[in-house]
A and B are shown apart, each in its own frame.
Chain A
């Protein structure tokens, strides 16, 4: 990689200045806030930290967050692969519309996304009142949180896969078909193995976002302690209750989760790169 980088011809002063600028930016916008979270979290020592993290309401929030991610990520993986497969391997009417629609959740503010579901399935709406009669609760309970998260994280997998699958083209699939393979067979033996690292990468981004989502979930949650609070909402509640240390302690849990995700992402990227080099 270093070999094919062009020789740097900028004056030394510019190089130093740019480097300092980047480091300064990195320090003040990424390192400082993170350091602040941890320093606040451990301000009163380990015991208080553990107590905050072990609080039953916090544990419930962690459980709900993980449950949401565990439902959302596989579903979005399936949706994402399906959409990317349809868009890149086939030609059909409305393809570009579908592609635009895929990006909609990115364009819509998460708060609006949450509100859409309240307006759609709130108890004052025909759908909501019908569901209520069947004893099904969507808004202000777990299904609502899952659906809102699903909506917000919908594009991650597809967005990751579409460029990858476009660059791979259809030759391998066409070859398989001329050799007599059928649809599913082609998918399992050719397409999926080709995209698996991209897929995993998309799923990881999706996980990160679903764990951290605040706006959409806040609107559909109802904020019932120990029941419909995810980790980000729990952080807000603790902060509002003057439990600053506890709030930062729970925030640090979120940071830990993100760090783990970033770590996995790095590992996968490495593998991904090796894989694509092998392919070439």
Chain B
């Protein structure tokens, strides 16, 4: 009698495991083509819509069913995961350097950014401020973020792409204003003195600002800022557009080695090219990313007010050098940030 229970348990467990394995086998036999898109934090809603549209489009074109799997997280963290073996067919990350890092590991070619139109960025965005309703701290421009008594929420530039755009936008503003890197550095230093917590991704910072109620101002992607108003109510938050900001270009790329392994080259190419079609561009605009297509931009012009935007190359040369100077270990961020 004593062993009956144990025997039963082993029997049930082995049954459980074998049914689990069987169902996995059955799934593999009938499964449609799949594609894994490893993306950054705030694109969750965008790619939900894009994937639905692409699935339909692809089915109409080829008759093949396709499932697009998504993984989201801080851009740097996601790039790291792909390098460590997360088998992404395509990566749609927050900034070029993260895809450069994947290229350095040999998973895709160094000239990946030349393969698609507009430097492989089917949409752009910029960095804006979100404040609590009525803007109690009167935040209008970048300088206001460095004032004493203002609490600023922004993610960690070491792990988050959005955070790096935030940092470079602030730096670029000051450097263009004063023409001095020294002053830009001092400005950044006093700005980050106002940051009480660094989340790993943009979405984490949004939740810190909205759900935990920390901070007077959130530095955020333009698309994320609009999403906050939509999700939490325009009666609670306001978007403040700084007069000058950075042109953020979140690029996309096919991961050559992984698609070769999965036999998904054609599908992956089609998926990324689809992002440039009028249909996809309109979804992009609806999700408050700035579309490349002039038609979509015109149609949703009200969503995208004119801000003076500077590019990263204008101020920092390119992503690799910006990364090296500012965000690598021992870089400027490590020098100025005191937790």
Contacts and interface: CB of A to CB of B under 8 A. Distances in A.
Contact of B207 (A73, A122, A223, A240): A240
B71 A124 contact: no
Contacts of A237: 72
B251 to A, nearest CB: 21
Nearest to B2: A193
Which of A74, A193, A239 gathers the greatest number of chain B CB atoms within 10 Å? A74
A88 interface: no
Nearest to A141: B87
Contact of B3 (A73, A188, A240): A188
B13 interface: yes
Contacts of A67: 16-17, 20
A139 interface: yes
B105 A225 contact: no
A23 interface: no
A122 B80 CA distance: 11
B321 interface: no
A124 B85 contact: yes
A226 interface: yes
Contacts of B178: none
Given A123-B85, A188-B3, A240-B44, A225 B17 contact: no
B83 interface: yes
Contacts of B227: 242
A70 B17 contact: yes
Contacts of A225: 69-71
Q: How many A residues are at the interface, by size bracket? A: 20 to 34
Contact of B72 (A193, A196, A223): A223
Given A188-B3, A223-B72, A241-B44, A71 B84 contact: no
A140 B81 contact: yes
Contacts of B20: 63, 67, 70
A16 to B, nearest CB: 36
B85 A139 contact: yes
Interface in B57-87: 69-73, 81, 83-87
A132 interface: yes
Contacts of A258: none
Contacts of B9: 74
B231 A242 contact: yes
Given A67-B20, A140-B81, A222-B81, A196 B6 contact: yes
B44 to A, nearest CB: 5
Nearest to A128: B85
Contacts of A239: 207
B10 interface: yes
B203 interface: yes
Given A74-B13, A240-B44, 8 more contacts: A70-B17, A73-B13, A124-B105, A188-B3, A222-B71, A223-B71, A224-B86, A240-B204
21 contacts: A70-B13, A70-B20, A71-B17, A74-B13, A122-B84, A122-B85, A123-B83, A123-B85, A124-B83, A124-B84, A137-B85, A140-B81, A140-B86, A224-B86, A225-B69, A225-B70, A225-B71, A239-B207, A240-B207, A241-B45, A242-B231
Interface in A110-136: 118, 122-124, 128, 132
Say whether chain A's binding surface is mostly helix, strand, loop, or mixed: helix
Interface of B: 2-3, 5-6, 9-10, 13, 16-17, 20, 36, 41, 44-45, 69-73, 81, 83-87, 105, 203-204, 207, 227, 231
A227 interface: yes
A222 B86 contact: yes
A112 to B, nearest CB: 15
Contacts of B70: 224-225
Contacts of B36: 224
A122 B82 CA distance: 10
Nearest to B83: A124
B112 to A, nearest CB: 19
Which of B70, B85, B105 gathers the greatest number of chain A CB atoms within 10 Å? B85
Contacts of B2: 192-193, 196
Contacts of A241: 44-45
Given A140-B81, A242-B231, A226 B13 contact: no
Which of B71, B72, B87, B227 gathers the greatest number of chain A CB atoms within 10 Å? B71
A145 to B, nearest CB: 13
Nearest to A129: B85
A70 B203 contact: no
Contacts of B16: 66-67, 70
A29 to B, nearest CB: 19
B98 to A, nearest CB: 16
Contacts of A124: 83-85, 105
Contacts of A140: 81, 84-87
Contacts of A192: 2-3, 6
Which of A63, A71, A226, A242 gathers the greatest number of chain B CB atoms within 10 Å? A242
Contacts of B86: 139-140, 222, 224
